[in-house]
Amino acid sequence: MFLHYSRRIVAPILLLLLVAVVTQSQKRGLTQSQAVALAEQFIAQNGYTDLPPDKTKLAYETIEWERDADRMLQQRHDTLERHAYGVLRGRKGGEPGWTVVFCYKAHCGSAGRAVTMNLDGSEPRVEHVDFRLGHAKKL
């Protein structure tokens, strides 16, 4: 009888511990270097660098309506440097996450493009507006 009651108590406790561990691991997120590496991979696979894109992993910008992937990739091709210029903690609108900034290939002036993502690296996207390079911590 004691064994029956202990199982009824232990199972919910184990479930609560599992939920706590998963929640805590999600809060930790990526390190700065992991966020930069993920953003560099993301812009390469989406055709912004001189490297060949991965057409199976394309992500569209919020303002892109081009349905022809080849044409879209042609417009993106080699527009950004392969390696990030800078990084800052946080996303657009003050949301938690990472912003990784890239210089334009033709000119690394005062503005570039930014890849934003959640703290854990999920939901990466290239922001459609330029990002002022001076706001990021230079790498």
Tell me what the mean pLDDT of segment 94-123 comes to: 96
Q: Is the pLDDT of residue 6 over 60?
A: no
Rounded CA-CA distance 48/33 in Å is: 20
Q: Which of 56, 31, 42 is nearest to 102 (CA)?
A: 42
The residue with greater pLDDT, 5 or 79, is 79
Rounded CA-CA distance 53/109 in Å is: 25
**pLDDT for 11-50, tens place per residue?**
445 445 444 444 444 557 999 999 999 999 999 999 999 9
Q: Quick one: 56 and 18 in the same domain?
A: no
pLDDT at 116: 97
Q: Quick one: 51 and 110 in the same domain?
A: yes
Q: Indicate the helix (H) or strand (E) that contains 98.
A: strand 98-103
pLDDT at 106: 87
* Boundaries of domain holding 87: 31-138
Q: Quick one: 56 and 108 in the same domain?
A: yes
Q: Indicate the helix (H) or strand (E) that contains 132.
A: strand 131-132
pLDDT at 13: 52
Q: Quick one: 20 and 43 in the same domain?
A: no
Rounded CA-CA distance 52/19 in Å is: 40
Rounded CA-CA distance 125/115 in Å is: 5
Rounded CA-CA distance 10/5 in Å is: 9
Q: Which of 83, 112, 119 is nearest to 98 (CA)?
A: 119
**pLDDT for 52-104, tens place per residue?**
999 999 998 877 766 788 999 999 999 999 999 999 999 988 999 999 999 99
User: How many residues in the chain?
Assistant: 139
Number of domains in the chain: 2
